[in-house]
Amino acid sequence: MTDHRTLLADYVTNGSEEAFRELVTRYIDLVYSTAVRLVNGDTHRAEDVAQTVFADLARLAGTLSKDVMLGGWLHRRTWHVATTLMRNERRRQNRERQAAEMNTLQECAETGFEQMLPFWMTPSINWAPATARRSCCAFSSIAISAPSAWRWEQ
């Protein structure tokens, strides 16, 4: 069995696809299992993370120290790629949620508050000042739309 340092050096100096293939074969289970844990069991994202990590290895192989512990480097790189992916995904979901809330508020303003309020609240809200009516409308529309958002995430 060839040492990972020899395989890495062969890939760096000669561009040996066989050496890189052997490195991938040896470390794919480590990288993939780490990625699955870090992306909360999402196998498709874990595959994307593993592919990115090995693409990074191919790109950065020449800059690695000849004494590098490749398993440790791959594990750390997997952690970095997966956490960045998950952070970006959370940010995207937050932006989408905020956009949906803004759309709901806009629809509320356009359609009239009576259509958005629960039936029992409509008669009493007519006596409230306009600012209170808008607040109740916004609260009611968010409360109505929340369960469908929860079902979508599951």
* Mean local confidence (pLDDT), 85-92: 92
d(CA 54, CA 52): 6
The pTM (predicted TM-score) of the whole model is: 0.63
DSSP 73-124: HHHHHHHHHHHHHHHHHHHHHHHHHHHHHHHHHHHHHHH-HHHHS-TTTHHH
Q: If we measure between CA atoms, which residue out of 6, 38, 42 comes closest to residue 22?
A: 6
At 82, the pLDDT band (50, 70, 90 cuts) reads very high
152 or 102, higher pLDDT: 102
Evaluate if residue 112 carries a pLDDT over 80. no
At 114, the pLDDT band (50, 70, 90 cuts) reads low
Instruction: Please check whether residue 34 is in contact with residue 76, taking contact to mean a CB–CB distance below 8 angstroms.
Output: no
